[in-house]
Every structure is written in structure tokens, then in C-alpha cells.
């Protein structure tokens, strides 16, 4: 699991927007066909956005 400490902390209602922006940045499909095929964002409490 790679934790991006430099990313801004996001509220739960911002996660969807963040993932939509990732589509533009990285050309990824959201939701990914399977978790193993694309970057997959999870929210860990109120700490950081985590990509696994």
C-alpha cells in the first residue's frame, strides 16, 4: 500500500470528485473493472487518501 502523504486531506464527500479528477490525470477508469487493474482509492479515517 502506497500512502501519498503530500496529497491534500479529503473529506468523504470529496473522494468521488478526487477519483473523477484522477481519470483526467492518469487516464484511469473509475470504477475500475477490477481492483487489481487500476489505481484504487480508499479512505482511512480522516488521515490520508490511500492507494492500494
Rounded to an integer, what distance in angstroms lies between the CA atom of residue 44 and that of residue 40?
13
Q: What is the mean pLDDT of the chain?
A: 55
The dihedral built from the CA positions of residue 51, 21, 44 and 46, taken in this order, carries a sign that is positive
pLDDT of 37 = 38
pLDDT of 14 = 72
Q: What is the mean pLDDT of residues 4-14?
A: 62
Q: What is the mean pLDDT of residues 36-50?
A: 45
The confidence band for 16, taking pLDDT boundaries of 50, 70 and 90, is confident
Q: By the 8 A CB rule, do 50 and 41 touch? A: yes
Query: What predicted TM-score, i.e. pTM, was given to this entire model?
Result: 0.25
pLDDT above 50 for 2: yes
Amino acid at each position: 500500500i502506497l500512502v501519498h502523504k503530500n496529497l491534500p486531506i479529503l473529506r468523504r464527500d470529496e473522494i468521488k470528485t478526487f477519483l473523477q479528477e484522477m481519470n483526467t490525470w492518469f487516464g484511469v477508469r473509475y470504477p475500475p473493472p477490477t481492483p487489481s487493474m487500476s489505481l484504487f482509492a480508499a479512505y482511512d479515517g480522516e488521515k490520508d487518501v490511500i492507494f492500494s
